[in-house]
Structure 1
Amino acid sequence: MAQSKKDTLLEHLHRLGLALGTTLDLTHEARTFVDSLMETLSPKLLALFIADNEKSYLRLWEARGFTLPTGVSVSMGLDLWRWLAEQGAILPSEDNPCRCAFANSIEKQVLGVLLVVLPDELAPSIVEVRSFLETATNYFAPILRNIQRYQRLERQLEVQLIQLQQSQQRYRQLVESVPNIFCVLNPSGEIVFVNRYVEQITGYTPEELLGENWWEIFYPGEEYAQVTRLFQNFERGDVKNYEMTLVTKSGEKRVISWNSVNVRNAQGQVVQIIGIGADVTERKQSEIALRESEEKYRILAENSLVGVYILQNDRMVYVNPVMLQLVGYTLEEINKMDYTEFIHPDDWEVVNQLKQHFLEAAENSASKEIRVITKDGDIRWIQVMLVPITYRGEPAIMGTGIDVTERRQLEKQLLQAQKMEAIGVLAGGVAHDFNNILTGIQGYAQLAMAELQEDDPIAHDLEEIQRAAARAANLTRQLLLFSRRQPMKFVSLNLNNTIQDMLKMLTRLIGEDISIQTKLSPDLWNTRADAGNIEQVIMNLAVNARDAMPDGGKITIETKNVQVDTEYCQKYTYARPGKFICFSIEDNGIGMEPNVMERIFEPFFSTKAQGKGTGLGLSVVYGIVKSHDGWINVDSKPGQGSIFSIYLPATFMESIEHEEKEVPQEALRGKGERILLVEDDEAVQEFTARTLRRNNYIVFACRNAQEAVEIFHKEKGELALLIIDVVLPDEKGTKLVEQLIAENSCLQVLFISGYTDEKSNWQKIRGRGYSFLEKPYSVVELLRAVKQVLQ
């Protein structure tokens, strides 16, 4: 009986093996498996659970012997027997051999679970039955795994298919929406696909183009030859990016920039060409226009008369020839330099502020004057005009530069000349008033002295008053020299003779610790000059040199002939072309700072300690030189001494240098000559009249022209001498003289004045040979002048 049962089970097992695996339908295979077991064993209860390993649960797939619906899921690891009992299944006790459970597993992976409750009659052959069930389960396990794998692959394929469809949809949307031509060609040029944007560019619809030859449609004539060469390069894989001009349906030519990809088969042959083309016609036209514009402006910049440059990221990315010439660097040198390397350090902040201003305020332009340091170390003033631009796609600043160094020097020289002129006018006016006052002070002191005994104690006080007045007179004289209102007597002089005559005096004046060296040109030209004033210039410059060498040193006095040309005059605008004699005084003293040099000719400006000078020495030099139609150049650096160079016009008249003979003191008294004195200052008039009257002159004094005319007519013109102030309250002195001389041609004239300005007609006075007495004058000077005129 046992052998018969075993054979029966083997036969059923064979049939089960043949029945399973005929399909990939899990439901069908599971039912075949369960139905075969039910037919063979007729169990009281059978439950087949199939695992879903991805979700970690077991699903009841087939059930027999109880009413629980299939499809119910339970967690993996749950006690299935207890779960069945809880669901109402009638189960034998746990120790009943008819209660069997088998796991469908492969390589330790649980694929399912089979629970079986056998009928009691199979208890005697339970071993054979269990073996049968285990073998049957092992048959079903690989089938179950294959089906599950298939289903998993099927699901994956479905997902991939959906994703592919979605990708294709997105790809088509992208291709159709992109504002470029997208086309696919086969190797012969036949159009396999083209997007709708092609119609916007070429005028052809995609439907018109599909199946047509791309090259023949869009590249007829000469263009087709280019296509042939291009396709040969396609075959080699050499072409990826290129530009070509196609012909549209309307005959218009458009430039297309292509990016292409070659699709090859397994043998490496090109089977398709995928191309994306962008219409760059307008861009190409803009590029051509930009190149033409850049070339035009490059020509303008290269041939401009002003410097042109472009500053970007603190580098000079463009510099024209004028700017290169201005700074002295080559283009290669400029390109390697930071722009601040040739900007004067004092102007860095100004330039940085300009840059920042452009970045923050977006100003249209700005103009400044800055200093640049050339390659040779020279400092040049440049007027820069800056505008913000975009250069090669990035922000930049374009600037122009004009060398204004000479203009600034001209302005500076003009300002200095105007300042000196204004100071001169002021100084002359002050000196005039002082001279009137000093004439009275000095004169009355002398008159009082004449009334005293030699041992009178008041005499000493009067002498001090005279000495103070003399010092004040000297001061006003220097002011007049500076303001060029001091009357001068011009004669033809040779400066070599003047310098030689003064050497002994200068040596004593300078001191033993300073040597004087001369370099006098043997063929020096003459100059028309006032001898006394030129001596004053030489002495003042020598004293200035001495003061610059407190520890001793050397003074060099040099003379030479100079032919001044226009080039020199462009550098020194106060100069003029012609022949000049130049004499210079050089010292090796402490030198001067630039800010000191700017003010050295100003009256009362001094670097000496208080009480160590009047500050008029160089001012007097300036005034005298200007009065001689000359100019002064000064060259000085701290610690390197100074050179003062005086330029005076040359003359080729013989030099006339003689001293006037003084009239003996005893011969100064008058002989009763009648004198008309016209002076508006009461003190000067009173002093002059008293002095003349004490010395045997008959004096008629008045204050203005009207009174003078009345006296002249009252005395019937019987006057020997007219002493008259140059400037009167109601008339010019010269005009009054002309009127009176017209009535008395024998009338002698002596002009007196504290200075001579434009109103005095000084040129007319000297031109007609009239004598002149400068205020303040002493008793002796007055008497000597009167005697000389009358003689």
Structure 2
Amino acid sequence: MRPAIRLSLANDSLECVAASASASRWLGCAREELIGRPLRAISRELAEAIGPQLEALARREPEDLQVLELPVSMAAPGGARELRVVLVPEPDTLLVSWAELEQSERQRALMLESMTHTKHGIVLTDARGVTLWCNQGFTKTCGYTLEELVGTRLGQLLQGPDTDPLEAARIRECVRRGAGFETELLNYDKAGEPYWVRIEAEPFVDRDGERYFLGIQVDITAERERAEALTASEARLRATLTASKDAIYWLEAARDASGEIEDFEFIDVNEAVEAELGMTRAQLIGERINVLFPINLSAGFFERYKAVVETGESYRNEYEIPRDAAASGYYQQLVMKIGDGVVIFNRNLTEDRTREMAQRQSLRMAALGRLASGIAHDFNNVLAGIGFSAELLQARVEDPESQAIIASIAQSTIRAGHFVKQVLMFARRTERDLAPQLLDEAFADSLAMIARSMPATVELHIELAPRLCVMADVGQLEQLITNLVTNARQALGGRGGIWVELRERCRDALPESQRPADETERCAVLSVRDDGSGIEQGALEHIFDPFFTTKPAEEGTGLGLSIVHSIVEAHRGRISVTSQVDVGTEFTVSLPLMAASAEAQDPAEAAEPSAALDGLGVLLVDDDELIVESLGAALEFAGHRVHVCSDPACAVDVLRDHPGEIRVALVDLNMPGTTGLELAAQLRAQQPGLVVCMMTGDWTPLEEEDLRAAGIAKVLTKPFTSKELQRELGELLGPERAV
């Protein structure tokens, strides 16, 4: 017989009014001792389990009272035992009986206890989704009590302003069909606050064939917030990396069967990588870097990446990729270990390096300009003195062979002056004196001089098409041909051949690399070819760079071809070069031709100095003794009355002592104690009608305003010939003003 006791409901103490013999034995207490004792004194566990049930029973009508069963763990002699307690309500008493649970019943009771106290929500519904039971985790999440939930369809709770209606409808359809489901959705609690839940529900059938649903609900609000924050952070990072000008590579190590790194695979790249490599992200992801770009192996990049993964130490360096490879240029690289791979930050420094090189080039050119300017005045003075002296010798010597030698000396001084001018123009980018020029005539004299200096072991072959006219600076044309032929001669090493050809070509018939910038239909094409040592491909890329040279320091400055390139560009032409080592080199220059009606004036047609200038009174002022002596003698030999001053301070006195006799003053620009402009102003102040010509050994252009203020009629750049001076004076004075 099951142990049983009867409790009085007359008061809250639930006193025992009767007890069975088996209850007395089970509790280890005589029945007389049980009668009259409150339930809590008999068993605290029974009192705590029965108490809440009494409150529910008190609210029900007598006809609604039902037998209740509940599991209880109750202390007893020999230790705690798991019991099934049966409550039988009576009008004034409550019959309490119990029996010890078997093992399976204990497990079910333990499972129910666990489900009750787990933090996740657990709910039991019938086949229609009506709530039969739920645990504390479920009520805590949704905010409803168990009494409010029991008998309620859960589908009614899956509603809210932002609840996905399609997902809610899908859940209801699963319940209708008796199918399980999994979902994540936004729900709302009793107070109207939103929360995210993950729900898993499965149907089952009990022993009687009744269908039920058991659902597990997990509050994932915090998880979703973290995920959304992570997604937003990743989006910000992706936007930052996408906007970054640095190329960023994510590479994963590809390992062989032994675990050794044999390559790296592209995991991800940003847009800067696509621009750098000229490939899309889709073309790169999953591909191996050494397969796509073998330079990573040959240049040692792969070994560095591998070392970063194996040691964990970051790597930073700067490097250059040659022009014939993909993504050529200058780069700064940072490589860091990420997982079993690396992330590479590649910063393109090409623009910075190009700008730095341009700045260094500008500084070097400025230094060259200062150097050239510093020596030009003195050097041109020397050339002018040599030239004037050569003219005097030429006039006094009758031997034809001597005449030819002296003419060469005079011509060389003029050409040397042009070369100084070219260096200044190259360094300062000054303007050129452009006029119609016949190329065959402009090249002929220079080639003749070069031929005379060639060793017998070098053959110079010249073929110049006649009457090809271009708008050009004749001095620059002479320097162009001289530099190219000299460069070819140096490449021969003392033995070989040079071929110089000038021909007319149609612009459209030329290769793209030889077409001049000017779109004139007809072009003059000059080629200078040698069969010398040739130029290596790497050097060809820099052959026109200033100060770049393949020759030893004592044999070349690196300016010759740079000046040639500058001259060609200034004449709207094009220069190209082809070369093969041990075969030879060919430079090709294309210049736009002028119309036939604009040909250059024949030198023989130039106006001769007027005979009316004979006996002209000239004041010559220059601090260079060689100029004073040589130019003074040349002018006197030409029949002029010359007054010379090497000290500018005495020039005003000389002019004052010879009133009306001196009509022309030749004044040097740079003299100690004063300038030619200041002296010219003083001379014209004393004799307003005086014609003043400024002489200068510097090719630096003078300001027109300064020249007008000083009354300068003409600027003569040294070296010049006495015939050129005579011609300029004839234009300035005319027959009617000559003495």
- Shorter-chain TM-score range: 0.5 to 0.7
Equivalent position of 1:432 in the other structure: 377
Equivalent position of 1:256 in the other structure: 197
Gaps of 5+ in 1: 1-153, 455-463
Give the SS at the match of 1:481.
helix
CA offset digits 1:298-339 (Å, max 9, x no partner):
89999x797976635365545577754553324432113345
**TM-score scaled to structure 2, two decimals?**
0.58
Segment drifting more, 736-745 vs 500-509? 500-509
| Residues 447 and 560 (structure 1), Cα distance of their counterparts in 2 relative to 1, 3 Å cut | closer
Map 1:16-95; keep pairs closer than 5 Å.
Answer: none
Equivalent position of 2:476 in the other structure: 533
**TM-score scaled to structure 1, two decimals?**
0.55
Equivalent position of 1:770 in the other structure: 714
Q: Tell me if 1:656 matches 2:656.
A: no
Q: 1:483 offset after TM fit, Å?
A: 1.6
CA offset digits 1:23-63 (Å, max 9, x no partner):
xxxxxxxxxxxxxxxxxxxxxxxxxxxxxxxxxxxxxxxxx
For residue 659 of structure 1, what is the amino acid of its counterpart?
P
Map 1:462-541; keep pairs closer than 5 Å.
Answer: 478-484=419-425, 490-495=434-439, 526-541=469-484
Q: 1:591 offset after TM fit, Å?
A: 2.4
| Residues 761 and 277 (structure 1), Cα distance of their counterparts in 2 relative to 1, 3 Å cut | same
For residue 218 of structure 1, what is the amino acid of its counterpart?
L
For residue 230 of structure 1, what is the amino acid of its counterpart?
C
Give the SS at the match of 1:337.
coil
| Residues 696 and 546 (structure 1), Cα distance of their counterparts in 2 relative to 1, 3 Å cut | closer
| Residues 162 and 658 (structure 1), Cα distance of their counterparts in 2 relative to 1, 3 Å cut | farther
The CA distance in 2 between the partners of 1:185 and 1:532, in whole Å, is: 106
The CA distance in 1 between the partners of 2:153 and 2:477, in whole Å, is: 101
Aligned-pair RMSD on alpha carbons?
A: 6.5
| Residues 506 and 429 (structure 1), Cα distance of their counterparts in 2 relative to 1, 3 Å cut | closer
For residue 337 of structure 1, what is the amino acid of its counterpart?
E
Q: Tell me if 1:311 matches 2:261.
A: no
The CA distance in 1 between the partners of 2:283 and 2:586, in whole Å, is: 38
Q: Tell me if 1:275 matches 2:215.
A: yes
1:327 to 277, 282, 307: 277
1:618 to 553, 558, 561: 561
For residue 202 of structure 1, what is the amino acid of its counterpart?
C
Give the SS at the match of 2:478.
helix
Give the SS at the match of 2:369.
helix
| Larger Rg computed on CA atoms | 1
| Residues 487 and 175 (structure 1), Cα distance of their counterparts in 2 relative to 1, 3 Å cut | closer
Equivalent position of 1:336 in the other structure: 286
Equivalent position of 2:157 in the other structure: 218
| Residues 658 and 613 (structure 1), Cα distance of their counterparts in 2 relative to 1, 3 Å cut | farther
Q: 1:203 offset after TM fit, Å?
A: 0.2
The CA distance in 2 between the partners of 1:662 and 1:263, in whole Å, is: 120
Q: 1:762 offset after TM fit, Å?
A: 12
The CA distance in 1 between the partners of 2:464 and 2:211, in whole Å, is: 100
Give the SS at the match of 1:770.
strand
Equivalent position of 2:138 in the other structure: 198
Q: Tell me if 1:420 matches 2:370.
A: no
- Given that 1:447 and 1:691 are in contact with CA atoms closer than 8 Å, whether structure 2 keeps it comes out as yes
- Given that 1:487 and 1:756 are in contact with CA atoms closer than 8 Å, whether structure 2 keeps it comes out as no
Map 1:510-659; keep pairs closer than 5 Å.
Answer: 526-548=469-491, 583=525, 585=527, 587=529, 590-592=534-536, 594=538, 598=542, 602=546, 606-608=549-551, 617-618=560-561, 620-621=563-564, 624=567, 628=570, 633-635=575-577, 639=581, 644=587, 654-659=598-603
Q: 1:623 offset after TM fit, Å?
A: 6.2
The CA distance in 2 between the partners of 1:479 and 1:202, in whole Å, is: 96
| Residues 206 and 234 (structure 1), Cα distance of their counterparts in 2 relative to 1, 3 Å cut | same
The CA distance in 2 between the partners of 1:282 and 1:443, in whole Å, is: 99
Q: 1:654 offset after TM fit, Å?
A: 0.8
The CA distance in 2 between the partners of 1:610 and 1:386, in whole Å, is: 38
The CA distance in 2 between the partners of 1:474 and 1:597, in whole Å, is: 31
- Given that 1:693 and 1:699 are in contact with CA atoms closer than 8 Å, whether structure 2 keeps it comes out as yes
For residue 723 of structure 1, what is the amino acid of its counterpart?
L
Give the SS at the match of 2:670.
coil
For residue 122 of structure 2, what is the amino acid of its counterpart?
F
The CA distance in 1 between the partners of 2:646 and 2:685, in whole Å, is: 21
| Residues 532 and 254 (structure 1), Cα distance of their counterparts in 2 relative to 1, 3 Å cut | closer
Count of aligned residue pairs for this structure pair: 588
Q: 1:202 offset after TM fit, Å?
A: 0.3
For residue 585 of structure 1, what is the amino acid of its counterpart?
S
Give the SS at the match of 2:598.
coil
CA offset digits 1:323-378 (Å, max 9, x no partner):
5455332443211334575597569499969999xx8799xxx9x9977799x955
| Residues 470 and 219 (structure 1), Cα distance of their counterparts in 2 relative to 1, 3 Å cut | closer
- Given that 1:256 and 1:280 are in contact with CA atoms closer than 8 Å, whether structure 2 keeps it comes out as yes
- Given that 1:215 and 1:224 are in contact with CA atoms closer than 8 Å, whether structure 2 keeps it comes out as no
| Residues 288 and 262 (structure 1), Cα distance of their counterparts in 2 relative to 1, 3 Å cut | same
CA offset digits 1:219-258 (Å, max 9, x no partner):
47977753342236655xx64x433554532345543212
The CA distance in 2 between the partners of 1:431 and 1:401, in whole Å, is: 45
| Residues 675 and 496 (structure 1), Cα distance of their counterparts in 2 relative to 1, 3 Å cut | closer
Give the SS at the match of 1:528.
strand
The CA distance in 2 between the partners of 1:428 and 1:561, in whole Å, is: 41
Q: 1:711 offset after TM fit, Å?
A: 2.4
Q: 1:528 offset after TM fit, Å?
A: 2.7
Gaps of 5+ in 2: 1-77, 83-99, 253-263, 400-404, 731-739
| Residues 790 and 285 (structure 1), Cα distance of their counterparts in 2 relative to 1, 3 Å cut | closer
Equivalent position of 2:667 in the other structure: 724
Q: 1:707 offset after TM fit, Å?
A: 3.5
Give the SS at the match of 2:603.
coil
